[in-house]
Structure 1
């Protein structure tokens, strides 16, 4: 992401400000290159095991002077598939990408020649440690906030548009970099819902793709006013204040909205793409020679969402995002003390993701206090009625029950949501909600 509407500002600016405040806080620790290996405990007393990958550069010493990169003999390709302004090589020792945080350089040892230590030899502060090994550490926490984000849909699967086959077919994320330096672009096509709202791929709408395309066109036209832009769409969806963005782009010269996705995309003459489509409004066939074709792909759960979901045993929706009670408690997972924020809950834009994560962060504050408040309406078990059938243990949606030494169900009050499910499913009516017993309900 390069520009945020409506100011078209650099999103890294806001990140730098937020990270600076975190660095200055005595109550925040940031562990880069780290992954959660396990999580145990209960709300107010979680214990997480982290695995830290080696950076090979000491964060507390590195001044990011760049002398090590100058001495490095190896150039490596940029991370991921990049275009335009980002299409440059880097050295095996380089700043972190896409944002240099922390400022210390990092070494990609996969590309280092055997026995090469030029970066370590030239470093003026002896910050390079090429013998660093992976490590593990354990931290304690009162609560867990999961913000694992999203990934772009694999557009190679939408075979009819040639992504991955033709170099001038790119994703909307790649267009972010291209739009910064579009010097040779005269005619650009944009296909909306590429793989979205399609039972073969993603059945849902990702809510932000139309707005992202319109923003890119607006930025492109500011740099190249003579560029011609063609938007192939099923429906233009710009909810809320993004309608203003749609009206701005619609009023621009040489911007054409074509209702209907292309039926043919194939290489044309002089390195261009030949695209054919039917405008379902006018019923006319349109044939274009484009310099670039941009696919607006949808949002899918990130790899991190899948990993953390399995590790923490968090329930996910059929589409793979974390499940939550959207009408009332959208930030709550089905594990007490664990909150989910941002687009790991579902497709959303940057502003909505920030708001969601802020709400989730505020919601976990009670779990990081010295004491946890328990509402006096929790379930109580009548041991004289219980026959140890295990049904409450197996069917509690929050894993609040476990066996005690005598084989009876024991309730962990910090995990219990007081939903009453256990009272309803107990075949012997051995469980009652405190201050709301079965006898009271019967009366």
Structure 2
């Protein structure tokens, strides 16, 4: 009996281990994503997995690994047959699949390998390891001081008047971006939690700090600026990182974004802010569609081309945002302030930033005000469109006023603040 118990214990331990693999070369992944592919395998018979991103080695503490024995065996077979090396993996319980990033054999080309993998009946899907970039602009401005009174974006959107009715309380926003400098004094008292899906030590970066500052900077603290939704709960999900040569920008990949998106869905975030863009990505699209089906509102920044193409802006149901004044003609795009928006920089500073990334952050914060005021998710986009003049920025004051029996609480017409250089 003791021998049987010991044997069962050994089998259980073996069943919880993941694929044997070398330590991932994260530098190689970041420098040459074209040398990697992402495949998924059916994993319907797995034990319940832990929360997204909690696989034992690279992305969290040791927990049950939710991988069916047959799936594990198939993964080993595919690795041997195609002479590939697994470097990252994770079961996506939401889709009943297991996701693996493989480094290709030096003798293979990515198009040929993907063609063969897609014709393999054991493979559920196969795609490139796509790269994505955040959509802010590193504009040079003469300002290096905290011009607190120059938050023209808030006046443009009617935020001061809207705050009389709603400040985002009870609404959760997942900001999928770089790490955030939560030590900034103007985040003190805000509701921000941080998770890291980059596979490396969490490093606060400019883009995520700026986007989160627009949404959640603490109001009423006699310091700095105020966020659009200062009472919202923000989940800062780090899936991107800044290249040393350009710290104002950031890049991500299919795997890290998938981890963060699944985590946002599991957290039941009301809003997901994706101030980034890149090529079409089947895996990420499936996750976004899964969230949309659960009444999650996904906000995306319009690519710099001015066309709602690629991930995530091409996905039907995603709220696509551009900076007012960019002059783009893409259809069904909301406009919001995205030029010289005052926000937070590290350490403990303030600066003006630009780009559709910042416009998307303004809209995500604005949607939080509407949801907090009991506007239904399915009504949000139509309400913003109906209360916005053609070619102009959304106006949260006007949107909230349209839902009031006594609209004097929030006048739809507000003065526009401006600044001169």
Tell me the TM-score range normalised by the shorter chain. under 0.3
- Whose helix fraction is larger, Structure 1's or Structure 2's? 2
Larger Rg over CA atoms? 1
| Structure with bigger RCO (C-alpha 8 Å, 6+ apart) | 2
User: When the two structures are superposed, what TM-score results if normalisation uses the length of structure 1?
Assistant: 0.23
